[in-house]
């Protein structure tokens, strides 16, 4: 981390130069400091004149921030201006902990809501706060006026201090007040670890904060202490990444000593670094599968790329996101910083997996698609747009109705309601016809209405036809609308398999807890089943890793 900070400070003058080059031919060859001297006064004068003369009153702070953001938007999506709240979030990632009460919250049903069970052993968990509880007030301040980010900031605070939460709970008539004492909360990157087959261990890693390497190592050691670990599944699906150093630590657990894990290359020489494994592996030679999908990004791609290039395991799933850029944080003041892309990273075979385009100035990674790369065993692999798995799984097709119910939080809301009125089901439950009928009654009671994508276009066409005197056409459209309504009634029955599966996952989380919910989800998950089959057929496993075409 110290190296990254030094790199960021040295690059700070260059950042200003990039900013003032907007609207100037970047290839003009002008000395950067001459350009700064020429254009920086113009920027300052424009800012002053807009504040003095613009027809409407302007917010100087908002205007200045918009100028910064507009400048950085011409570079790439990851170079950003960070204020106090953004820096605090980044520090949580780099430190792996924060001071608060252990509540994962998000915005649902126009309310700040506890999105998952509170972290085990935290003040919120001990007090009995539940998933699905709506946070109405924090220290007497209405959350509806605060919004999500300010609510999170208000709940957090120095360890040992008090915070009062007023909560609305499904099935409880009056709001409940909780008084909690903040503590240091350690972020858990390993969401689940356990056996899901005979001798087959499974580790679900959801982010790469400071603790990820240590947690994965502990998970492996715990699995080995419980049983003979014959094969391992590392699940990086929907893991958006995190710290470069942590990705190296995780990959180091599986690769032989001195194996290259990742390289970074930038315009500044100090950005050029090679990262190698620095110890004997914790899980070094036994079979392993890495599961990925289109949301696996950044640090996830570093680990998957290293495992693939060294033929250490089989990558299964969908092509990953394709984020191959490294950022450095440059402090600007006590409350602000610049997060700037300073390098691209390359897998051991030399691949850049950054998708293009990421910049109006052009992206050299497009050429990667035309190059052929090889793993240690000579297997061909592609660059220039994510990690392509060794075994690609077709994306699961889910009906639009089933997705719409999820988008509108119907499964979540029903599961919260159902768990509160059926606590006797905590030991065992199944999604029966009665459960599906209860769900259907619930969404009707809540006024849910499904609108098919075609209906929106049809409605616009009907209005246009009516305006232009197309009465016969309007009648035909109305007959079609009735047919669509009948189709939508039948669609619930046609979508029952999808609805049943998603409901089962949501109810398991509310009734049985996160770990049991993960187990139930894995029992029906295509990626996990494929991984188990591969680890159970070592001849096929070896053939995949030896294939040259």
User: How does DSSP classify residue 190?
Assistant: E
Encoded tokens for 251:
């990959």
Gap between the Cα atoms of 245 and 144, Å rounded = 39
- Whether residue 79 contacts residue 341, with contact meaning beta carbons closer than 8 Å, is answered with yes
Give the span between the Cα atoms of 303 and 250, in whole angstroms. Answer: 7
Only one residue has tokens 């608060």, namely 100
Q: Distance between CA atoms of 118 and 129, rounded to whole angstroms?
A: 7
Which entry of 76, 189, 309, 525 is annotated as an active-site residue?
A: 309
HSE of 323 in the Cβ direction (CA atoms, 13 Å)? 22
What's the residue count for the chain? 549
Question: Quick check: 246 and 304 in contact, CB under 8 A?
Answer: no
Tokens encoding 122 = 């935290």
Helix axes 471-494, 453-467, angle to 10 degrees: 170
State whether residue 1 is helix, strand or coil: coil
Distance CA 42, CA 30 (A): 17
Q: How far apart are CA 411 and CA 509, in angstroms?
A: 12
Q: What is the pLDDT of residues 260-284, one digit of tens each?
A: 999 999 988 889 999 999 999 999 9
Beta bridge pairs of residue 234: 203, 290
- DSSP, collapsed to helix, strand or coil, labels residue 68 as helix
What pLDDT shows up at residue 21?
A: 32
| Per-domain boundaries in the chain | 2-79, 97-186, 190-329+342-395, 400-450+495-527
CB 111 within 8 A of CB 143: yes
Note if 133 is an active site residue. Answer: no
209, 263, 296, 298: the active-site residue: 298
How distant, in Å, are the alpha carbons of 191, 194, 381 from that of 515? 8, 9, 35
* 231-240 confidence digits (pLDDT tens): 999 999 999 9
Helices (H), 156-290: 212-226, 244-252
Angle among Cα 10, 14, 19 to the nearest 5 degrees reads 145
Bond prior to 357 in cis (omega within 30° of 0): yes
**462 catalytic, yes or no?**
no
Which residue, 207, 251, 269, 271, is CA-closest to 347? Answer: 251
Q: How far apart are the C-alpha atoms of 184 and 398, rounded to whole Å?
A: 40
**Per-residue pLDDT at 392:** 94
CA contacts within 13 A on the Cβ side of 45: 5
Token duo for residue 90: 């980044």
Kindly calculate the radius of gyration of the chain based on its CA atoms and give it in whole angstroms: 27
- Tokens at 292, concatenated: 């990925």
| Strand, helix or coil for residue 142 | strand
CATH value of 97-186 in 2.30.42.10, 3.40.50.300, 3.30.565.10, 1.10.287.70:
2.30.42.10
Q: Show the low-confidence residues of the chain (pLDDT under 70).
A: 1-30, 357, 359-370, 423-428, 548-549
Query: Which of 505, 504, 373 lies closest to 432, judged by CA?
Result: 504
Give the whole-angstrom CA distance, residue 83 versus residue 242. 19
pLDDT at 34: 83
CA proximity to 74, closest of 376, 359, 344: 359
Q: Do domains 97-186 and 190-329+342-395 have the same CATH topology?
A: no
DSSP letters of 463-489? HHHHHTT-HHHHHHHHHHHHHHHHHHH
Q: In terms of Cα–Cα distance, which of 374, 373, 394 is closest to 293?
A: 394
Q: What is the DSSP letter of 172?
A: -
Q: What is the pLDDT of residue 369?
A: 59
Closest by CA to 102, choosing from 110, 91, 90, 114, is 114
CA dist list (Å): 87 to 99, 330, 335:
15, 11, 8
Q: For 399-429, give the secondary structure using H, E and C.
A: CHHHHHHHHCCHHHHHHHHHHHHCHHHCCCC
Considering the domain 190-329+342-395, what is its CATH architecture?
A: Alpha-Beta Complex (3.90)
**Cα–Cα distances in angstroms (integers) from residue 169 to residues 121, 124, 173, 443, 448, in the given order:** 21, 14, 8, 18, 21
Task: Specify which residues 341 forms β-bridges with.
Answer: 327
- Alpha-carbon dihedral of residues 263, 1, 96, 298, nearest 10 degrees? -20
Q: What is the DSSP annotation of 259-325?
A: -EEEEEE-SSGGG-EEEE--S--SS-SS-EEEEE-TT--THHHHHHHHHHHTT-SEEEES------E
Selected catalytic residue, list 209, 252, 300, 323 = 323
298 is catalytic: yes
């Amino acid at each position: 981390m110290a190296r990254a900070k030094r790199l960021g400070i040295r690059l700070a003058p260059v950042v200003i130069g990039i900013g003032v080059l907007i609207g100037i031919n970047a290839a003009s060859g002008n000395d950067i400091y001459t350009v700064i001297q020429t254009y920086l006064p113009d920027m300052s004068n424009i800012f002053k004149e807009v504040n003095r003369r613009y027809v409407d009153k302007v917010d100087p702070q908002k205007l200045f921030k918009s100028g910064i953001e507009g400048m950085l938007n011409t570079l790439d999506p990851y170079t950003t201006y960070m204020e106090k709240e953004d820096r605090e979030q980044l520090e949580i990632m780099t430190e792996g902990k924060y001071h608060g009460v252990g509540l994962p919250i998000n915005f649902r049903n126009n309310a700040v809501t506890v999105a998952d069970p509170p972290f085990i052993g935290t003040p919120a968990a001990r007090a009995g706060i539940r998933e699905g509880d709506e946070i109405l007030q924090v220290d007497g301040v209405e959350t509806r006026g605060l919004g999500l980010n300010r609510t999170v900031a208000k709940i957090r605070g120095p360890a040992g201090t008090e915070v009062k939460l007023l909560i609305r709970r499904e099935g409880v008539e009056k709001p409940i007040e909780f008084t909690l004492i903040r503590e240091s909360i350690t972020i858990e990157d390993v969401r689940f670890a356990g056996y899901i087959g005979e001798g087959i261990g499974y580790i679900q890693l959801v982010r790469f904060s400071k603790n990820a390497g240590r947690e994965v190592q502990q998970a492996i050691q715990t699995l080995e202490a419980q049983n003979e670990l014959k094969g391992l599944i590392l699940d990086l699906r929907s893991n958006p990444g995190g710290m470069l150093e942590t990705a190296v630590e995780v990959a180091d657990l599986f690769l032989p000593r001195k194996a290259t894990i990742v390289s970074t290359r930038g315009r500044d020489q100090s950005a050029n670094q090679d990262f190698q494994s620095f110890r004997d592996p914790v899980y070094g030679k036994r079979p392993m599968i890495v599961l990925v999908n289109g949301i696996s990004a950044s640090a996830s791609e570093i680990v998957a790329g290293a495992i693939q290039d060294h033929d250490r395991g089989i990558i299964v799933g969908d092509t990953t996101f394709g984020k191959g850029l490294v950022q450095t944080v440059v402090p600007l003041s006590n409350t602000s910083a610049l997060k700037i892309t300073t390098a691209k990273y390359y897998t051991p075979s030399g691949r850049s997996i950054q998708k293009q385009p990421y910049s109006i100035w052009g992206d050299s990674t497009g050429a990667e698609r035309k190059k052929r790369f090889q793993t240690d065993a000579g297997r061909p692999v592609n660059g220039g747009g994510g990690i392509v798995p060794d075994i690609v799984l077709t994306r699961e097709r889910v009906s639009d109705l089933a997705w719409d119910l999820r988008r509108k939080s119907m499964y979540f809301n029903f599961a919260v309601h159902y768990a509160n009125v059926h606590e006797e089901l905590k030991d065992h439950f199944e999604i029966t016809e009665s459960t599906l009928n209860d769900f259907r009654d619930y969404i009707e009671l809540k006024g849910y209405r499904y609108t098919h994508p075609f209906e929106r276009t049809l409605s616009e066409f009907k209005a246009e036809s009516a305006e232009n005197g197309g009465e016969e056409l309007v009648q035909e459209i109305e007959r079609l609308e009735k047919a669509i309504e009948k189709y939508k009634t039948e669609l619930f029955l046609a979508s029952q398999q999808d609805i049943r599966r998603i409901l089962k996952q949501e109810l398991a989380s509310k009734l049985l807890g996160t770990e049991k919910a993960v187990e139930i989800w894995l029992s029906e998950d295509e990626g996990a089943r494929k991984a188990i089959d591969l680890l159970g057929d070592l001849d096929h496993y070896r053939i995949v890793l030896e294939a040259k075409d």
